[in-house]
Structure 1
């Protein structure tokens, strides 16, 4: 099992000096951590010269001697001091901080991140900012998605413009908003292993591939992307070998809820069984299924507030290597089934659909091939030979 880093979503809190944003953020961070979230933080320092070490310390002496990159490590903490030729952008800083549920940035008003403005009546500098916000709905050109303030007129103006407004002491409310709107949702990866496999002549899940069941290979390839992994199947008694796999997350077997099988019914089973808000659907015969592609799809879905992100190529949609939002897609899929629909794509018109096109696919998976599936023993043998000769992807 390989390690896969997931991009961290981020949001910026901005305000003037003495607006109270640091005091507020300390409380908000503590609240989020108490809820079990993994939080990273970035502080934009306006002064060129600052230090996290003291003259006379060994690490300080290393830098003083000319080291341009000094790492300080203890059994429980690590810090890195790097001399820069130019200031990195906020995007670059956040990109260097993967695997957080949320990164909270203090400052970087013009970063392009969603901005939450802090305005406090007792801070003289905030009075001009409040007037600007009341007049044009922004401060220094940045339109916030929410404001935190003790000024009733600012809160009312924010609500009138469709923004959220919170009091300075409403730590729980702010945390709720951050979790709901910005924090990365947990992801269930659902492997569809309930097909009849007529052309294969036996279950695709248990057919041998490079010395192990094909399903075991798919699990090992997609598990790094998953917070939970489920396998939808009509033969749970034959999949006991999954108990011996260390997938790094829980694996559950889910029996198909519909007597009559089909692509759309299998997806509805997965949506209903998933414990998490996002659900990646992967077919068990996609021998080059890609965890990095799943992570990229989930990231785009979350950032763009889509209900589904589905790859598309010259052959059409690839719904069995896509990510879906359970809240929207489960009722849409069930409604399509009730109308007699059977295809995986038959509910797409009823949700906010995002398409992952060829160029985006190439960036996420440069080696390609992640939609290749096997339907017959000859196809299976041919791909096995190609892996032996050319290596795996």
Structure 2
């Protein structure tokens, strides 16, 4: 099973800034909105236990086990001995499948950070003063604030008392400020950083959803129903003893927040609703009478509920969920309208990812103008090309774009597949 990488954002601040209180409220708010949230808590001090002394798992650990996994129905925990402090990127990488991971601490993780400063915390007040002074003097966020910290210190002028401000102030990774300290909010405004009050939980949740939560993905398997060269519906033709469409569902459903099959034979595919009850598959007919690749893409984008739409042809026997996951990451990072694999044969529009808001109007316009080729959309949107090297990095086995158009081709692929299964 392939799961999407989880995006993450870190909430940072000095001791007693109120990080945990705010994070708990944010998790409750985001979960209530249907966001799948993971969390990481960084302890600055060494050592902690999650089990009760005297329990069996506790006894396992204290007998010398370097790793103990505690499992109960619906719950699992792992305690493992490690060398030093684990890098935050490795922790987040071990937590795929979440819409967002909220990290408490790990200022130097390289993650986007949200800085918390509370009026009732003297250390925060001092840091806010340094932050504001730097903003007024035009210091960049990646500057060393130590010298400013020395000048505005309210401690004995004879000693350095700036609370490690060079390490504990907003920096180039800061994406928002949460504070009730006026000068901190002023500094955020001068730096052009979004700012929120300590009680602005709903507004902060909006910001996180809009800017950092993983966009939901609709995966559309195109199974039109016509196949002159195959002589029968590709969706229901047998492959490995099962309808070919089942193979596609098994391969790509793990990366789908919504799974849609576009087909002109919904009655013949209604068995899928019973075979995959947990997937809530939707069977959708073409939305326009015109035939062709672009009208098919129009249907896929029109019926999708989510902002990202991955389109896969039902005859792509080795369609790759890893490739879809990599395309999602590339679309998010690039801000493009579409991520489309490209090789010596040109674009592969039917194992590609589209941003619905940008691509649907263009595709609709093309269809209304009588266009039929999927290449039309590539000429009118911002495409992030996905070259063969990146395809192979995502899916080392390759073969993602192989499709079966005739009974002979299908039989050849099936024979190879069955042989590989028994090696």
| Structure-1-length-normalised TM-score | 0.91
Residues 223 and 248, structure 1, Cα contact 8 Å, conserved in 2:
no
**1: CA distance, partners of 2:250 / 2:291:** 26
Name the residue aligned to 1:264.
294
Name the residue aligned to 2:106.
108
Tell me: CA distance 1:392–1:158, structure 2 relative to 1, closer, same or farther (3 Å). Answer: farther
Tell me: CA distance 1:249–1:160, structure 2 relative to 1, closer, same or farther (3 Å). Answer: farther
Cα deviation, residue 54, structure 1:
5.3
**2: CA distance, partners of 1:320 / 1:289:** 10
Name the residue aligned to 2:39.
41
Residues 69 and 79, structure 2, Cα contact 8 Å, conserved in 1:
yes
Tell me: CA distance 1:244–1:305, structure 2 relative to 1, closer, same or farther (3 Å). Answer: same
Structural mapping, 1:206-355, within 5 Å: 206-246=236-276, 248-355=278-385
Cα deviation, residue 342, structure 1:
2.6
Cα deviation, residue 131, structure 1:
3.8
| Structure-2-length-normalised TM-score | 0.85
94, 97, 115: which one pairs with 2:95? 97
Name the residue aligned to 1:391.
421
User: Unpaired segments of 5 or more residues in structure 2?
Assistant: 142-168
**2: CA distance, partners of 1:85 / 1:99:** 27
Question: Per-residue displacement from partner, 1:209-257 (whole Å, max 9, x unpaired)?
Answer: 3333322322222222222211112232332332332164111121111
Cα deviation, residue 41, structure 1:
0.9
Mean Cα deviation higher: 339-348 or 51-60: 51-60
Residues 119 and 130, structure 1, Cα contact 8 Å, conserved in 2:
yes
**2: CA distance, partners of 1:65 / 1:238:** 60
1:194 aligns with 2:192: no
Question: Per-residue displacement from partner, 1:269-310 (whole Å, max 9, x unpaired)?
Answer: 111101122211001111111222222322332344433222
Query: Aligned with 1:13: secondary structure?
Result: strand
**2: CA distance, partners of 1:296 / 1:364:** 6
Residues 225 and 235, structure 2, Cα contact 8 Å, conserved in 1:
no
Cα deviation, residue 58, structure 1:
4.1
Query: Aligned with 1:337: secondary structure?
Result: helix
Tell me: CA distance 1:63–1:216, structure 2 relative to 1, closer, same or farther (3 Å). Answer: closer
Over aligned residues, Cα RMSD in angstroms?
2.4
Question: Per-residue displacement from partner, 1:145-167 (whole Å, max 9, x unpaired)?
Answer: 11111134433443454432111
1:370 aligns with 2:400: yes
Cα deviation, residue 355, structure 1:
2.6
Cα deviation, residue 103, structure 1:
0.8
Name the residue aligned to 2:233.
203
Tell me: CA distance 1:156–1:304, structure 2 relative to 1, closer, same or farther (3 Å). Answer: farther
Cα deviation, residue 74, structure 1:
4.0
Mean Cα deviation higher: 5-14 or 127-136: 127-136
Mean Cα deviation higher: 68-77 or 315-324: 68-77
Name the residue aligned to 1:83.
81
Residues 225 and 265, structure 2, Cα contact 8 Å, conserved in 1:
no
Cα deviation, residue 126, structure 1:
1.9
104, 118, 121: which one pairs with 2:119? 121
**2: CA distance, partners of 1:161 / 1:306:** 27
**1: CA distance, partners of 2:370 / 2:96:** 43
**1: CA distance, partners of 2:17 / 2:382:** 38
Name the residue aligned to 1:30.
28
**1: CA distance, partners of 2:213 / 2:306:** 13
Tell me: CA distance 1:392–1:299, structure 2 relative to 1, closer, same or farther (3 Å). Answer: farther
**1: CA distance, partners of 2:276 / 2:318:** 19
Tell me: CA distance 1:52–1:204, structure 2 relative to 1, closer, same or farther (3 Å). Answer: closer
Name the residue aligned to 1:14.
12
**1: CA distance, partners of 2:334 / 2:371:** 28
